[in-house]
Structure 1
Amino acid sequence: MEESPTQVLQTVMPSLQQGAWFLGIILLTWLLFLPVWMRGRGKGVTETRQSLLGIAYPVIVIVVTVVAVVTNLFPKDDPQDATRLNAWFTFWALIVLIKVLNTLALSVFERQQRPFPIPPLLYRLLLAVLYTTAFLGAIKLVGNVDITPVLATSAVLTMVLGFALQGVLGNLLAGMSLSLVRTVEVGNLIGVDGVEGIVVNTNWRETMIRTRDDDYVYIPNHFLASHRVTNFSKPEQSHRHHIDVGASYSDAPGEVIEALVEAAQDSGVAHDKPSPRAVITAYLDFGINYRLYFWTNRYWQRYQVEGEVGRHIWYKFKRRGIEIPFPMSDKLLNDFMAVVYNQRKLPPSEGESERLLNELRNSDFLKDPGAKEESLLSDETVGTLAKHCHFARYTKGETLFRQGEAGDSCYVVVSGSVSGSITFKDGGRSQTTTFTTEPGKVFGEMSLLTGAPRTATGKIEEETELIEIPGHAFAQFLAEHDSVMEQIAKTAAERNKKNQEFLMKIEDLSAQDVETSCDEHKVINRLKHLASWGKKLIG
């Protein structure tokens, strides 16, 4: 006899009523749990702590269900109610067990400071499989529900969906493959199909990367699996950069290579090991091409890094007179190089000479501190020295010279600033003192006047212009004005005597170096030696 709709409704109503209660419990528990979950998702919260907080949800579900049963709010009219309730408790108890075991596993690897061995995508899929197994097991073993039709229907549905969602399944399988072999991981810097970025997240469908422009690019997993991917984070973070630079044929390759390597070293971004190196890559019609190699662990900032090294190259080339050529005809190239070669031999222009004279006159160079900082030289004498000096531009981060190096030049700060650091020993302990040399001040004159090693390391703090007084220029100046040697020696020796106790603490200076620099007669002998060299240079 066929049942009426009313009878059918009466038959299924208890199940629907109890199902509604189960759904209500889930929603109520989620509302109670949501504040706790949101706090647990904040920055700095470890994955283990998040998993531990996740245990609270199924526990709250069980507690709310128990309260509903004890207070007789839960329906018990149907004989199957108790069976379904037991299946309900069993399912959530299994969820608690799965979450506890998951938290324990995460905590073990976290304490050992090792990465969790299961990739994130496979990890989430595994949890989904376990939850599904717990559900089917609870309704089958405790709820006495025949799940065979469900499994059969699922198989047919899976086959139908497999044909309909081939692309989606392709992404899923590709994502699983990528996660299993760890081709890319969260935090890796990768490049694919001309796009470079940091992997932010991976899921069953796509991989999300953040580019240098702070844009998010979503790449389907099957695309990653079928294209060549460059992982800049493996096998290690260190990455080799290169910069191509041209120089004219009139510049010796040894000098160009030396300038390129020094530019990378002074930039502050290149690793010391492996050390920077430069090689010749091509001989062209208009010049020689060079390639500078250097290593950093900042490939993510490659444009800033390579730009910083390129900036230092310009200053190195400019000070050394190294020309960067541009394509031109042979005749124009020859004419241009002849002009450049002749210009290198020309003395400073009239305007530059006047500026050199004024800057030297107003600086502390060869001024007597005991005579209210009056200059030891007349304007005419300073003008003779200015003819042999030149301006030099430096950029932030460059090293002017290092403590302990031999030095035969000194510098006058025109603009910008130079920081100095002196390392010395006091009481058996190594210490460092710092100072700043501002415009008008002199830096490095002790080595020029006494022949002692550099007593400090000079670093350029900002865009800076200096007047370089090289040893050969000072030697020619002394050869033409030997009458000032005694006064220069006296002033230098007196300055050094005031600092003699401190100079003795500098390891790079021997006792003989300190004694020589404080002895007026020995300083005069040093200046006379320079004057003899200057006479030979003058011819």
Structure 2
Amino acid sequence: MGFNKALRYLLLGLLLLSTNIVCAQEHSTKKNAAKPIATQAVAVPVATQPAAALTSSSLPEKTPAGAEALFEFAKQAVDNVALDDATTGTQRAGAKARTTTKPLGRLHYYGVYAGIFMAFLLLALFIRSFCQKLSQKHAALPSRALADQLLSFYWPIFVVGVGLHFCLSAVFPRIFNETINNVAKFVDLFLLGLAILRPLDILGFDYYCVEKNHWRVPRLIRDVIRAPLYVFAVIFAYTTAFGGNFSGIFATSAVLSFILGFALQDTLANLFAGLAIHIEGSFGIGDWVEVGTREGEVASVTWRAIKVRTATDDYISIPNSAVAKGEIINHSQPTPTTRQQLEFNLSVSLPPNRVQRVLLEIADGVEEICKTPAPSVRLLAFNDASVKYGLLYYIEKFGYKGLVQHKINELIWYNFKREGISISAPGTPTYIMQAQAPPPSESTSNKTPRLAQIYFLRSLDPLDLEKLASALTTHLYAPGEIILRQDIENDQFFLLEQGMVAVEHEIAGKPPVHLANLQSGDFFGEHSLLTGDKTTATIRAIAP
């Protein structure tokens, strides 16, 4: 049994217990009310001594007509006083008789409000359960917003707070004076404001903007919209609970704003600079920017600064005022695609077309480099003993810059090695390419038996196999580098001496389909070499 279900049963049991207490007390009250009430007769004199003294015989003989009228009035007044005394005596006797009835006990009194409070708790649990089911039903809505953060927290707290306020003010009226009652009312109204504003906040930003329309709303914009609403909720709760007025609060807030304006000049400058940055739209979250000497991806924009994540996974906070005053280079606008250029100083003895072919093959082997626009090689300048070349290429995201440079440098080493071109010693900033003899290959005596095992070479005599083995050269390839591409004319035959390669079939607009892996001793490229047809698969090195 889950915790929520156990708590629900416990509260239901307490509610039933309080109901039984109320019913038992009501039964006891009715039973006591059915018993006869013994009273004592109280003799009430109708006439008193002062009334007897007022007779017509006691008046003078020659009494005027006004005196006769005065006598009648006085006699009637005395009779009324006697009747009132009798009635009062009867009421006092009845009150004395009623005191014999047993009064309502405190158990009954507390049981009623305990039951009311339990009902509020059950209502809060019901609201929480309903909100969780609602979030599960609508999968498009962010469950963390509706179930965990939003309705399942604020609304139950509001319901419990109202129930607690109602019961405590009724059970302890003396302790719950006017001041405490106003404070409790303020808390209730503030919780109600949270219960209303928080759903609007998350449904407006998280659901409508992010989930539905895929808009990235910066934190600064959210805070600027949230702050006035929450301030208004606090002011409304205060004025309603304590009986204040808005004009006095606004007058006081204007004075405070004037004072704080001087004390928080830098903070306000950053705030308004951040608003200006958002209105101008110079950059957004996820853009790669360069501010001065700092370069990285924009992670967040707050009311004080922008947070930039560098290529080394470090965060740099740059004040908004500094960003507004400085120069910003946005590598993600107008499009995320950005152009890069690598420069090489190569030997003057190398033909430019050969350099262009090698560098374009290198760029073609890097997946992160865009095919459109295609890479290009430019001859930039002539130096004293070298020629400066530039490799221009486009990448889909500026964040790939370091990775692409690494892959290009790695492929340069392997391609130059296969071409018999030496690379300059470490510590020099240029590549010096000089034509050399091919690297020494393995002895033909070791290669001839391998060639003899290939099915279409078995008919050759040993002398022809030795001539063919002497023409073989050893080439090194980087992991992931393409050895043979699909749909090209091929005039080479490859014998895998060491490592492993993958056979892939490429389909336009789709990822390559992996067909098989070839290991040491396998071969490829023979079909296109013998028939003259274009290659039917791509061969990629996957292990050295």
Please give the range of the TM-score, normalised by the shorter of the 2 chains: 0.5 to 0.7
Contact 1:246 1:325 in 2 (8 A): no
Q: Which of 112, 135, 138 is the equivalent residue of 2:212?
A: 112
Query: Cα 1:308–1:433, aligned 2, differ >3 Å: closer, same or farther?
Result: closer
Structure 1 residues 297 and 410: CA distance shift in structure 2, 3 A: same
Q: Which amino acid aligns with 2:145?
A: Q
CA separation in 1, counterparts of 2:420 and 2:387? 15
2:527 aligned to which of 430, 446, 456: 446
Aligned to 1:172: 271
Question: Aligned Cα RMSD in Å?
Answer: 3.8
The correspondence for 1:257, drawn from 352, 356, 371, is 356
Q: In structure 2, the residue corresponding to 1:409 is in which secondary structure?
A: coil
1:115 Cα deviation from its structure 2 partner = 1.2
| Alignment partner of 1:457 is 2:538 | yes
Residue in 1 that maps onto 2:445: 358
Question: As a proportion of its length, which structure holds more strand?
Answer: 1
Q: How does 1:6-405 map to 2 (within 5 A)?
A: 49-50=144-145, 53-73=149-169, 78=177, 88-106=187-205, 107-110=207-210, 112-115=212-215, 119-140=218-239, 143-322=242-421, 343-344=436-437, 352=440, 355-363=442-450, 365-367=451-453, 369=455, 376-378=460-462, 381-405=464-488
More moved, 156-165 vs 82-91: 82-91
Rounded to whole Å, the distance in 1 between the matches of 2:238 and 2:278 is 33
Q: Which of structures 1 and 2 has the larger relative contact order (alpha carbons within 8 angstroms, sep 6+)?
A: 1
| Structure-2 separation of matches of 1:452 and 1:101 | 66
CA deviation after TM superposition for structure 1 residue 119, in Å: 3.7
* DSSP 3-state at the match of 2:168: coil
Residues 368/131 of structure 1: CA separation in 2 closer, same or farther (3 Å cut): closer
The range that moved more, 263-272 or 195-204, is 195-204
Residue 265 (structure 1) shift: 0.9
Aligned-partner Cα distance in 1 for 2:302–2:505:
55
Distance in 2 separating the partners of 1:198 and 1:154 = 39
Paired with 2:540 and 2:268, the residues of 1 have a C-alpha distance of 59
The 1:132/1:273 distance shift into structure 2, 3 A limit, reads same
1:119 touches 1:180 (CA, 8 Å); kept in 2?
no
Instruction: Name the count of aligned residue pairs.
Output: 397
What is the CA distance between 1:111 and its match in structure 2?
Answer: 5.5
Distance 1:276 1:144, change over 3 A: same
1:294-341 CA-to-partner distances (Å, cap 9, x unmatched) read 222243242222110222123223323456679xxxxxxxxx99xx55
Q: Residues 122 and 180 of structure 1 are in contact (CA less than 8 Å); yes or no, is this contact kept in structure 2?
A: no
Contact 1:76 1:82 in 2 (8 A): no
Paired residues of 1:360 and 1:412 also in contact (CA < 8 A) = no
Secondary structure of the 1:185 match is coil
TM-score by length of 2: 0.63
Q: What's the % identity of the aligned pairs?
A: 26
- Please tell me the residue identity of whatever aligns with 2:276: S
Are the equivalent residues in 1 in contact too, given 2:494–2:524 (CA < 8 A)? yes
- Unpaired segments ≥5 residues, structure 2: 1-123, 426-431
Structure number with bigger Rg: 2
- Any idea what the Cα deviations from partners look like across 1:163-199, whole Å, max 9, x if unmatched? 1221122122222222333433333332222222223
Distance, in Å, in 2 between the alignment partners of 1:69 and 1:384 is 102
Name the counterpart of 1:415.
498
Stretch deviating more after TM superposition (88-97 or 407-416): 88-97
Distance 1:446 1:211 in 2: 49
User: SS state of the match for residue 222, structure 1?
Assistant: helix
CA distance in 1, matches of 2:237, 2:312: 50
Rounded to whole Å, the distance in 1 between the matches of 2:292 and 2:399 is: 17
The 8 Å contact of residues 120 and 179 in structure 1, kept in 2 or not, is answered as: no
Q: Which moved more, 1:287-296 or 1:208-217?
A: 208-217
Alpha-carbon distance between aligned partners in 1 of 2:395 and 2:506, rounded to the nearest angstrom = 28
TM-score (norm 1): 0.64
Please state whether the residue corresponding to 1:390 is helix, strand or coil: coil
Cα separation, partners in 2 of 1:433 and 1:395, compared to 1, 3 Å: closer
Q: Deviations over 1:254-277 (max 9, x none)?
A: 221121111111122212112111
Give the CA deviation at 1:61: 4.1
Amino acid at match of 2:484: F
Alpha-carbon shift at residue 238 of structure 1 (Å): 2.0
Closer/same/farther in 2, CA of residues 242 and 46 from structure 1, 3 Å limit: farther
SS at match of 1:391: coil
